[in-house]
Amino acid sequence: MSVFYNITDVDVFNGVAGIEDCYGEKGGRVGLDALEDLEHFDFTRSFQFILLSECWAPKSIIEETLAEEQDEDDNNAPKEDLKYYNALLKEWQGGIAERRGFAVILQDAVENSLPPGPVWKDILLA
């Protein structure tokens, strides 16, 4: 499945950024590849993510940061109840999709994808 979000709060030192849904809510975190190419990213547009698999407990700095942000919003939500999707940030270059990062996206945020919304896609990974 393909979903679209804005990328916000870019931390160039750690190579991570926030993912923002259609309501301006944080919906995940992304680790950006090739930080030296960040000048080529147009952060004023939406980005496409491909959902890969489900995941639960935070295991990386990206997921831990997301869980901390979620806890700030809802202190009653235990971390083990937060469900995510592993996802790839991709960018199209001349008809070829290139990986630009790895993300974790809250499952509840998928329905709040930016237009065109969640879309089923067949993608060949190589």
> Regarding predicted confidence, which is higher, 64 or 111?
111
pLDDT tens, 64-102? 666 676 665 555 545 555 689 999 998 888 888 888 899
The percent of residues in the chain predicted with pLDDT above 70, rounded, is 71
Q: What's the number of domains the chain is made of?
A: 1
Tell whether 78 is covered by a domain. yes
Tell whether 25 is covered by a domain. yes
| Average pLDDT, integer, range 35-42 | 64
Q: What is the number of other CB atoms lying within 10 angstroms of the CB of residue 68?
A: 11
| Average pLDDT, integer, range 100-109 | 92
> Can you read off the two tokens belonging to residue 67?
């869980």
Residue 36 has pLDDT above 80, yes or no: no
Tell whether 60 is covered by a domain. yes
Tell whether 126 is covered by a domain. no
Q: What is the model's pTM?
A: 0.77
Sign of CA dihedral 58, 113, 3, 51: positive
pLDDT of residue 61: 56
Tell whether 101 is covered by a domain. yes
> Regarding predicted confidence, which is higher, 38 or 54?
54
Tell whether 73 is covered by a domain. yes
pLDDT of residue 49: 96
Residues 35, 75: Cα–Cα separation, whole Å: 33
Domain that holds residue 36: 2-112
Tell whether 119 is covered by a domain. no
Tell whether 123 is covered by a domain. no
Residue 63: name the closest of 77, 79, 46, 39 by CA: 79
User: Three-state SS across 34-86?
Assistant: CHHHHHHCCCCCCEEEEEEEEECCCCCHHHHHHHHHHHHHCCCCCHHHCCEEE
In this structure, are residues 126 and 42 in contact, taking their beta carbons and an 8 Å threshold? no
